[in-house]
Amino acid sequence: MSLLRQVALGVAGLVVLGLSGCANPPGKPGPGPEVVNPDSIADFAVLYKANCAGCHGFDGKGGAAIALGDPVYLAVADDAVLRRVATEGVPGTSMPAFAKSKGGMLTEKQVEIIAHGIREKWAKPDVLRGADPPPYAATTAGNSSRGADVYTIFCASCHGIAGKGGKASSIVNGSFLALMSDQELRTIVIVGRPELGAPDWRGNVPGKSMSAQDVSDVVAWLASQRAQFPGEPYPQTDKSTGGTR
Ligand code: HEC
Ligand code: HEC
């Protein structure tokens, strides 16, 4: 066989291969409507259920994490908060970053659809009826020693002396505090967890709302209870047991 013939046969073979099996191998379904590009999902209900419901609850409440469907929460936290936290997550907690730009799975547009959808579905514009809540983000530094007094006035009736638990659970437990950012503590003090019976800033003591400074101070006090080595089963800096830290 001449070299030319060999090359010609080879080319013919490649053409035959190309025209037959390879484009559509037997048994392999062609592209159909069931193949959805995850980036093209634009339905709020689908996106929320797949990404948020597991922690924040199917109906925006009833999950382990704060109820995003609580209208009081939505009156205190604006769209920028929803968008930013969903985009970046909260480092050091179990709140993941969802935006692709931060290593997540959602496009910027999908984050926007979720943030917008949460508000559209669950916000109630007149829920505060003129009440003026403390600002979402702290504007003044908290004073933890004043915060101890604020705690006694507003919180001890349910969370017990020094936060160690009573009618409601301990909020100074080292592992608990290690899982929550200061902002999350602040958010919960302001909006409560209504689905669990935790009051908002107006409801701890009948007729006595917490001021913005009260909120900052009690959060500073809670933050001062953080354990240096959360999760360790033995006490720290306890001279009576010969501890060395
Ligand atoms: C694996 C559990 C988990 C998933 C999934 C999750 N979250 Fe969170 N989320 C958390 C936790 C825990 C926090 C509190 C973090 C902290 O301590 O600041 C949080 C906090 C938030 C906050 C801030 C609350 C505040 O204090 O203002 C927003 C907003 C939020 N999540 C939105 C979302 C959205 C939107 C989704 C879905 C795209 C989502 N989360 C999915 C666990 C989760
Ligand atoms: C009327 C009772 C009551 C008062 C007063 C109260 N809480 Fe709570 N709180 C609860 C209940 C109930 C829960 C949810 C269930 C639990 O953690 O036991 C809760 C939950 C919390 C949580 C979240 C715990 C979690 O598991 O996510 C924090 C943080 C918290 N409260 C802080 C405070 C602070 C700070 C104050 C005072 C400013 C306060 N609470 C006042 C009843 C109360």
Reported as a single tens digit per residue, the pLDDT across 147-160 is 999 999 999 999 99
Q: How far is CA 151 from the centre of its chain?
A: 25
Instruction: Indicate the pLDDT class of residue 43, thresholds 50, 70 and 90.
Output: very high
Q: Which residue has the higher pLDDT, 20 or 72?
A: 72
Q: Amino acid identity of 97?
A: A
Q: How far is CA 14 from the centre of its chain?
A: 54
- Kindly state the percentage of the chain with pLDDT values over 90: 76
Residue with tokens 């919960």: 188
The ligand 1 atom at the shortest distance from the C-alpha of residue 111 is 38
**Vertex 84: Cα angle to 79 and 85 (nearest 5):** 105
| Contact present, 121 and 127 (Cβ < 8 Å) | no
The ligand 1 atom at the shortest distance from the C-alpha of residue 94 is 12
Which residues have C-beta atoms less than 6 Å from ligand 1? 51-52, 54-56, 65-66, 68, 77, 81-82, 85-86, 90, 93-96, 98, 114, 180-181, 183-184, 187
Instruction: Indicate the pLDDT class of residue 243, thresholds 50, 70 and 90.
Output: very low
**Vertex 194: Cα angle to 159 and 120 (nearest 5):** 150
pLDDT of 240 reads 53
The ligand 2 atom at the shortest distance from the C-alpha of residue 185 is 29
Residue of the CA atom closest to atom 43 of ligand 2:
198
* 109 CA to centre of ligand 1 in angstroms: 18
183 is written with which tokens?
């902002």
Residue with tokens 């003129």: 130
Quick one: which ligand is closest to 190's CA? Answer: 2
For ligand 1, mutation pick of 74, 95, 107, 177 (most atoms within 8 Å of CB): 95
How far is 89 from 106, CA to CA, in rounded Å? 12
Nearest to 181 by CA among 76, 111, 88, 118: 88
How far is 111 from 48, CA to CA, in rounded Å? 10
Q: Amino acid identity of 5?
A: R
- 5-9, 174-178, 192-196: the lowest-pLDDT one: 5-9
Neighbouring C-beta atoms of residue 1, cutoff 10 Å: 7
CA distances in angstroms from 120 to 112, 114, 160, listed in the order given:
12, 10, 38
Residue 180 pLDDT exceeds 50: yes
Residue of the CA atom closest to atom 40 of ligand 1:
52
pLDDT of 239 reads 54
How far is 220 from 182, CA to CA, in rounded Å? 8
